[in-house]
Amino acid sequence: MSETNYSEEHIRSLDWKEHIRLRPGMYIGKLGDGSSFDDGIYILLKEVLDNCIDEYVMGHGKRVEIKIEGARVEVRDYGRGVPLGKVIDVVSKINTGAKYDSKAFKKSVGLNGVGTKAVNALSSYFKIESVREGQLKRAEFDRGVLRKDLKLEKSDEPNGTRVIFEPDEQMFRSFQYRDQHIERLLWNYCYLNTGLTIHYNGQKFQSKNGLLDLLTTKMDGEPLYPIIHLVGDDIEVAMTHANHYGEEYYSFVNGQHTTQGGTHQGAFREAVAKVIKDYFKKDWEAGDVRTGIVAAVSVKVIEPVFESQTKTKLGSLEIEPGGQSMRSFVGDFLATKLDNFLHKNPETTNALQSKILESERERKELSGIRKLARERAKKASLHNKKLRDCRIHLSDPKNDPRKMESTLFITEGDSASGSITKSRDVNLQAVFSLKGKPLNSHGLTKKVVYENEEFNLIQAALDIEDGMDGLRYNRIVIATDADVDGMHIRLLLMTFFLQFFPDLVKNDHLYILQTPLFRVRNKKETFYCYSEEERQRAVHKLGKSAEITRFKGLGEISPDEFKHFIGQDIRLEPVMITKDVPVHDLLDFYMGKNTPDRQDFIITNLKVEKDLVHEKPEPLVKSIARKLAENEVEAEV
């Protein structure tokens, strides 16, 4: 075995921008294309906005303006403005910023002096302007390199800071900002900062009642009892129960949405069960107390410690260095405020007790079935190879930070699962192969999850029997054929997750895989087309030499080609729940009893079939729509 020389020439020092561009995941998480709420392009926006919010928290600037046109983002606040002599330093020198001075920013979101430097380094164009007391300082960069350092000039504008940037297409490929993700981010800022007004592309965002407004917006249907809203020093809580499975939490630290929870959320889950059990003087299981809970909790912490640069999980054990523990801080607050509320509101306590007793009864009824189901799932996983797992889950997934990058593809049939299995990234991508068409679970109880083999095995593969804390994959991707039968399987799987694990969907874990319908190529070029419009453009570009292949199913796409569709250029459509239609009503429309309205909707929106067959006869379209509406579609349709 030959030796590799190791000398001074092998030691390399990277400057700040080179390091960020070489290891962007350390600073903004995954890059992504904008389909996920936590994709890098939204983290860039958030890093700029965090500075605006910190100004507001410190009492400066109640208005923030945001404009996004294509790839260009502009953010303007009306705070104090960056000190004019430090405008360049704060966006280009690591460990430079006012947030190291705890007197200036006591409970700031970002404390490591990296935020806008990462935005600068990862943008093909970056511009910062600061206005203070009639003077304006402006600087422009590309990919972190200073291009224009303009002299001070007079200005009639109000004090504040303006940042304009365009994410670098060398880093973010084929990305697109999605309004629903941006609006969710902005609403969270407003819920946590009553009095703040954000204007985004002509829309106004403002909240008067904080977390009460957040929970009211997030609730599907009516709560089982009026939302409990509790406010204290450096803590705010809103909670109720709903008639669904699972636990649903929205947790925040210093205005930062901690999507993965952390010590504050864990302290809340523990304390809320203890306070309720103590009030009723019952030794209920904590899971029965929390089943169906919908809650939001916000805390303010001095010098918070997060488990990653993207600040999605709080690691702080104390509310300030050397201070009270997070567990006792949250516990003491609920022991006083929630207990007092329960004593004063008997109607709420009656509804709460009924929900807990119902959860307890169902758990006991399912106990025997759950044990047998777990044994079946273990045996199936070992011998039937339903799940082709990825390597990080075959080692120690709970301690592997790459868990947040892992994906599970749920496929139909052996041919499709075979293509994906051969072309996947074995480290981070797993495959679950369905056997036949899933059951329509609309209106059924959770008993069916354990009695139905496919549902039980999916639940076991995801490890979500006892809640989202054990979720083994960050993205669950439904990968079905682009035909009517595939559409129906998508609906059945979406129904399963919405019916029994709605918090999995609400936390942006469920996606639909978009695969090409056509391949258009000649000897020099190949285009993969995801719609009839893309096919026409490709044919026009290649001319008479174009060879057109229509993919009828995933199994027809070779593994070598499939690598393009599930790699860095993967196209995913997030399954999102909007506040306009409650989940129950949504499922009732799509998966309940057949209605003329549903048939008309399906005829109008039968996009997949129309793309595959350009001029399908009207009688056949209506026949397909009727079968879909009756949930009777079979493979031969």
At 588-629, the pLDDT tens digits run 766 766 566 666 665 565 544 444 444 444 555 555 555 555
> b/e string for 63-75 if b means 16 or more Cβ within 10 A?
bbbbeeeebebeb
Mean pLDDT of 44-70: 93
**Helix residue spans in 122-178 (DSSP H):** none
**What average pLDDT does the segment 46-72 reach?**
93
Beta strand spans in 133-280 (E): 135-142, 145-149, 153-154, 160-167, 197-200, 203-205, 228-232, 235-241, 248-253, 256-257
Residue 545's CB is within 10 A of a number of other CB atoms, namely 10
The helix (run of H) or strand (run of E) holding residue 75 is strand 72-77
**In terms of CATH architecture, what is 211-361?**
2-Layer Sandwich (3.30)
| Average pLDDT over all residues of the chain | 84
Quick one: tokens of 586? Answer: 């949504």
103 — pLDDT class (breaks 50, 70, 90):
very low
Tell me if 396 sits within 8 A of 351, measured CB to CB. Answer: no
Q: Which single residue is written with the structure tokens 């509790």?
A: 230
Residue 328 parent element (H or E): helix 326-344
Distance CA 268, CA 291 (A): 14
CB distance 392 to 406 below 8 Å: yes
- Model confidence at 442, in pLDDT bands (50, 70, 90)? confident
Residues facing residue 69 across a β-bridge: 72
pLDDT band at 127 (very low <50, low <70, confident <90, very high): very high
From CA 7, how far away is CA 423, in angstroms rounded?
39
pLDDT at 65: 98
Neighbouring-strand partners of residue 510: 476
Count of alpha carbons within 13 Å of 362, Cβ hemisphere only? 19
Provide the pLDDT for residue 24: 85
Instruction: Count CB neighbours of 219 within 10 A.
Output: 16
- Which of these, 511, 584, 510, lies nearest to 244 by C-alpha position? 584
Name the pTM for this structure: 0.77
Pick the CATH number of 17-205 from 3.90.79.10, 3.40.50.300, 3.30.565.10, 3.20.20.220: 3.30.565.10
Residue whose C-alpha is closest to residue 62's, from 165, 163, 182, 190: 190
d(CA 289, CA 459): 22
In the predicted model, is pLDDT for residue 548 greater than 90? yes
Over residues 195-203, the mean pLDDT reads 96
Averaged pLDDT for residues 542-555: 87
The partner residues of 299 in beta bridges, in order of sequence, read 235, 253
CB 531 within 8 Å of CB 614: no
Extents of the domains making up the chain: 17-205, 211-361, 384-515+551-592, 518-548, 593-637
Quick one: pLDDT at residue 4? Answer: 54
Side-chain half-sphere CA neighbours of 441 within 13 A: 27
Q: Please, which pLDDT band fits residue 96 given cuts at 50, 70 and 90?
A: low
pLDDT of the residue at 83: 93
Q: What is the pLDDT of residue 100?
A: 42
Alpha carbons 531 and 518: distance in angstroms, whole number: 8
Sign of CA dihedral 449, 454, 456, 460: negative
Buried b (16+ CB within 10 A) or exposed e, 623-632: ebbbbbbebe
Terminal alpha carbon distance of the chain: 61
- Domain 384-515+551-592 is in which class? alpha beta
Q: How far apart are CA 80 and CA 187, in angstroms?
A: 23
Burial environment of residue 418 by CB neighbours within 10 A (0 to 12, 13 to 18, 19 or more): middle
